[in-house]
Amino acid sequence: MKAQIISIGNELLIGDTVNTNASWLGEFLTGLGFTVTRVHTISDGLQIIKDTLNQAISESDLIICTGGLGPTHDDMTKKAVAELFDVGYKLDEQTLEYVKSMFKKRNIPFSKSNYSQAEVPENAEVLFNKAGTAPGMWFNEDCCIAVLPGVPYEMKYLMEKKVSEKLREVFGDIGYVYSHYIKTAGIGESTLSDEVLGDLSNHFQNGVSLAYLPAAGGVTLRLNGHGSTKEEAKQYVQALKDIIYQKAGKYIYGEGKDYSISEAVGKLLKEQGIRISVAESCTGGLIANTFTDVPGSSNYFKGGIISYANEVKVNQLGVSEKDLVGVGAVSKEVALQMAKGVAERLGTEIGISTTGIAGPGGGTEEKPVGTVWMGFYKKGEEHFAIKAMFTKDRLINKERTKMVLLEATRRILAGIEEMPYDLKKQLS
């Protein structure tokens, strides 16, 4: 079954608002067994809404349309749908009374434009919206169309509470798609695909598929399976999951779409009863922030020192002024001293550090933009630094530095000797 998503609003096109609705809807519909073939992002123009809907109707079994249902003059979706189907309007009394009660409760005057929100095209089935003032609308005209508000929490409410029921009424047992996410780090997409996992096509049965989702922080593997129930779909994915773990286990740090490397490191720290602290220069507190994003991180994360200036490296971390002058702040020597210094000063078993040239300026022929040194210190056991050469993009360099250092830390804690990518430990 084919589905299309139409997102309406000038704010989406000019970048004022990020279109999170489309990605959420794509995942939601895929989970119900639909194949999303197109996502349209269009302006608030009457004609372009009609033209896009008309095209989508001829190509789809289902259309989800979001945005343009507010009370202002630029909200044209309802008018476009009415004109497309050549129908008038009807008043939905339940919506009208609900909107009036909301305004009264908030002591806000009820205007003519608000009254119009309770008017819907004559051929629409109203999807009552308890999350807002604009009702959703359901049409069954050559294909099924759900017209929903653009406000994300209103759209999600209607999809989960109203539209999903309509889909099962119309399409019957549409089955389920189970999506499972495996998070990897320290290996590139092509190496992971070609050299580590290889050809897995013999596992692609019963709707099972595999997608590679690369990002600055690592490669996420999305495994999909389709079944009559969620449990059946999950079972179909299991064989593929097992073979991926057999082949790429050392690169896998966790599972789940939103699982982070800091959660993986934190889990190991907690299990081993040890604590960590960070000394950051080029990452500016990014690593400390990602640790504190995890609930319960106070059990293993004690704190950090953002030593952006050299005098902070000297005064707060005990870095040698001689080394700062001789080899520079971006060096193995300084990374090592920062990692040991923060561990000793904050009283943790492990200290990690970052120092580099994030860019876009500040590079030299000897140390170009993207040069980063990362230090690791574990009391009485390990003390080393690793050097990486990243990009000319400042934010990407910060993200990759965070990811590489945390993945290196995870591997040490997990007893995996190999460092991320082809990086080598450079001992003190």
| pLDDT given at position 113 | 67
Q: What does residue 81 show for φ and ψ, rounded to 5 degrees?
A: -65, -45
Q: How confident is the model at residue 342 (pLDDT cuts 50, 70, 90)?
A: very high
Helix (H) or strand (E) holding 382: strand 382-389
80 or 73, which is more confident? 80
**152-170 as b/e: b if 16+ CB within 10 A:** eebbbbbbeebbbebbeee
| pLDDT given at position 102 | 76
pLDDT (tens digit per residue) in 194-206:
999 999 989 898 7
Identify whether the C-beta of residue 132 lies closer than 8 Å to the C-beta of residue 102. no
| pLDDT given at position 284 | 97
Identify whether the C-beta of residue 406 lies closer than 8 Å to the C-beta of residue 287. yes
CATH of 2-171, one of 1.10.645.10, 3.40.50.2000, 3.40.980.10, 3.90.1170.50: 3.40.980.10
pLDDT at 174 over 80: no
pLDDT at 31 over 70: yes
pLDDT at 345 over 80: yes
Query: What's 229's DSSP letter?
Result: S
pLDDT at 350 over 90: yes
CATH of 177-255, one of 3.40.50.620, 3.30.70.2860, 1.20.140.70, 3.40.630.30: 3.30.70.2860
Residues 262, 268, 271, CA angle at the centre, nearest 5°? 135
Beta bridge partners of 304: 278
* Mean local confidence (pLDDT), 337-351: 98
pLDDT (tens digit per residue) in 354-375:
999 999 999 999 999 999 999 9
* Mean local confidence (pLDDT), 70-76: 78
pLDDT (tens digit per residue) in 122-167:
999 999 998 888 899 999 988 999 999 999 999 999 999 999 889 9
- Mean of the per-residue pLDDT values of the chain: 93
| pLDDT given at position 228 | 80
d(CA 82, CA 122): 8
305 phi-psi bin (left φ>0, alpha ψ -120 to 50, beta other): beta
Beta bridge partners of 222: 181, 211
Q: Does domain 261-427 have CATH number 3.40.50.300?
A: no
Domain ranges of the chain: 2-171, 177-255, 261-427
The string of DSSP letters for 344-364 reads: HHHT-SEEEEEEE--SSS---
* Mean local confidence (pLDDT), 235-262: 95
> Any long-range contacts for 386-391 (C-beta under 8 Å, 24+ apart)?
386/419, 386/423, 386/424, 386/425, 386/426, 387/332, 387/423, 387/426, 388/421, 388/423, 390/356, 391/359
Q: Cα–Cα distances in Å, from 169 out to 65, 174, 176, 336, 384? A: 19, 10, 15, 64, 62
Q: How confident is the model at residue 421 (pLDDT cuts 50, 70, 90)?
A: confident
| pLDDT given at position 344 | 98
**Burial environment of residue 231 by CB neighbours within 10 A (0 to 12, 13 to 18, 19 or more):** exposed
* Mean local confidence (pLDDT), 83-112: 85
> Which of 78-82, 92-96, 143-147, 287-291 is predicted least confidently?
92-96
pLDDT (tens digit per residue) in 370-379:
999 999 999 9
* Mean local confidence (pLDDT), 50-79: 91
